[in-house]
Structure 1
Amino acid sequence: MSDTTPSVRIGLILPSGNILAEGQIHDMLPPTIGLHVTRLRLTGSSDADLDGMLADLSQAASLVADTRPDLIAFNCTAVSTRHPGSDREIAESIESETGIPTITTGSALLEGLRALKARRIVLVTPYIDAVVARETAFFEWHGIEVLAALGADINGNWEMAQEPEQRWQEMCLSAQDDRADAYVLSCTAIRTHDIIAPLEEALKRPVLTSNQALAWLALRRTGAAQARPGFGKLMQMPVEDGQKHQGGKK
């Protein structure tokens, strides 16, 4: 391992039970980027589990801030899309604690869809029904029409990680809809980054994943964007200037 000082440091906050996100994001980042990780307790998908993840948010933010990152990334889709303002509230809380710019998985997915000019999506997740419903409502509130929302009724991070990539690939293909502008493979705890390119070829549409969207936005927010072949159309896209998604009832 090189001891060269990274050109950019990213502080990553993950669920404690997530065994995949760190490796996937590392693969998507250029080798000059430093990734520094801390965790918050989360192993399940119940209301108590999801609410509980934020109980120690201030401490986790303070700990990862000790690495002096250029950006902090809170990487949990279910928590950052729990209600329409969750992504913003979490980022603001971390920024208030640390003074460091912060993004979340929810905001990264919204920004990615905006960059791709995608207004209609098919949503594929490993989640239980209640989490799927809340994430669907999150996207709809932010002006994204969800044509179909699929869940696999899996409760825990560990169990999600045991599922092969083919399961998520097959779910996407089974929900193919020519009206869709993009497909969203949601959840930081599932195996997805090797199927982005094959799915885009099969579906003829961009495919976003939670970890890919977070890596993409982190690189662009830190001015470190580079072409990363093999990880989908999004990784080639700039962050658009101008007004961000504005939430509101339609």
Structure 2
Amino acid sequence: MDVSFLGGPQPQRGVGIVAPFDFALDRELWRWVPDDVSLHLTRTPFVPVEVSLDLARLVSEHETLREAVQALVAVAPEVLAYACTSGSFVGGIEGERAMSAAMAQAGELPSLTTSGALLDALEEIGARRVAVVTPYTKSVTDSLEEFLGEAGIAVTGRSYLGLTREIWRVPYRDVVDMAREAAVDSPDALFISCTNLPTYDVIPQLEAELRMPVLSANQVTMWAALRRVGKQAVGPYQALLDPVARRGPAAMAPSPPEPYGVSEPSVPAASEPAEPEPEAALAGAGTESAEPMEGHDPSSPLPDEWGGAQPPV
């Protein structure tokens, strides 16, 4: 069978990922990646230490990073990302910057870390007060709060699981429960920490329920890495990725729906007596402002079967 007409595989852009040895969510990272981008992953060497501040320091040593970067350079990625939150915030702002610099020097490529990407994402959405959810112990969670404080970000509430192993097994329901507990003081956003904690499918649900942007470690890592190569991360209705989502449930205060075709009556000025205008009233009834349909761009014309008017609700 002649398949020469297919023209070969689609050209790919490359993103190099350095992850800790116990990282188990390779597939989750791919879910934010467009079809014309490939991820090239490598892991840091195994060390027999439970999830802790000590482990965070071990998996982020500069020599370890340089060796991992050299392995990735062989497949010529365009950007490098260190996918570990605790490993990149354990040394504070200065430590995070030094890690990025060490990777960039070793690979001669633009480089970033999850914690650095988090700060960029918070700036992108204008968040200065955040609620924090982590699977970590108290000491590791404290370190994250110190890192954010150093960057001028206030932590308004937090919830953590106290885990030291197998974080990837945490179900979505536990993440949701923690988010509800942490986001009680009207923060600007919620951050779910740890690249080994599943979050992809739960982000839109939490944004709709909590009515605020929700960021996660894997999400911000992929968003920042793809942005470095001029690509956009993909994902279902996430405020960080979609400006429309920022104006949707995550940005709206709860309010009762208005009846279709009904608006507040205008009050004429004292010097201008009101005159009934039945024709104008009838014309306006078909075009009264209402909540846009789900998935519909308000600037686009509506389907012809509705005659350009909003559908009844």
Q: What TM bracket, shorter-length normalisation?
A: 0.7 to 0.9
2:177 to 166, 170, 187: 170
**Aligned pairs (5 A) from 1:1-250:** 3-6=9-12, 8-20=13-25, 22-41=26-45, 44-53=50-59, 54=61, 55-82=63-90, 83-156=92-165, 159-225=166-232, 228-230=234-236, 232-236=238-242
**172-181 vs 192-201, greater mean Cα deviation:** 172-181
Structure with higher Rg: it is 2
In structure 2, runs of 5+ residues without a counterpart are 1-7, 244-313
Paired residues of 1:188 and 1:211 also in contact (CA < 8 A): yes
Q: How much is the aligned-residue C-alpha RMSD, in angstroms?
A: 1.6
Bigger relative CO (Cα 8 Å, ≥ 6 apart): 1
Code of the aligned partner of 1:211: N
Q: CA deviation at 1:68?
A: 0.8
Moved runs in structure 1, 4+ residues, more than 4 A? Answer: none
Paired residues of 2:136 and 2:161 also in contact (CA < 8 A): yes
Q: CA deviation at 1:224?
A: 1.1
Distance 1:136 1:47 in 2: 13
Paired residues of 1:28 and 1:231 also in contact (CA < 8 A): no
> Deviation digits for residues 56-89 of structure 1, max 9, x if unmatched?
2211011111111110000100010112222211
Q: TM-score, normalised by structure 2?
A: 0.71
User: Per the alignment, in what secondary structure is the counterpart of residue 140 of structure 1?
Assistant: helix
In structure 1, runs of 5+ residues without a counterpart are 238-250
Code of the aligned partner of 1:101: P
Distance 2:179 2:87 in 1: 23
**Percent identical residues:** 28
Distance 1:28 1:49 in 2: 27
Code of the aligned partner of 1:12: I
Distance 1:200 1:4 in 2: 34
> Deviation digits for residues 37-66 of structure 1, max 9, x if unmatched?
100136632343222212522110111111
> Deviation digits for residues 172-211 of structure 1, max 9, x if unmatched?
0122224200000011001111000000000000000000
Paired residues of 1:38 and 1:60 also in contact (CA < 8 A): yes
> Deviation digits for residues 84-103 of structure 1, max 9, x if unmatched?
22221111001111111001
Q: TM-score, normalised by structure 1?
A: 0.88
Paired residues of 1:17 and 1:41 also in contact (CA < 8 A): no
Distance 2:27 2:9 in 1: 19
Distance 1:219 1:137 in 2: 28
Distance 1:206 1:165 in 2: 17
Q: Kindly tell me the number of residue pairs found equivalent between the two proteins.
A: 231
> Deviation digits for residues 123-144 of structure 1, max 9, x if unmatched?
0000011110111000010010
Paired residues of 1:193 and 1:231 also in contact (CA < 8 A): no
User: Per the alignment, in what secondary structure is the counterpart of residue 93 of structure 1?
Assistant: helix
User: Per the alignment, in what secondary structure is the counterpart of residue 215 of structure 1?
Assistant: helix
Distance 1:84 1:148 in 2: 21
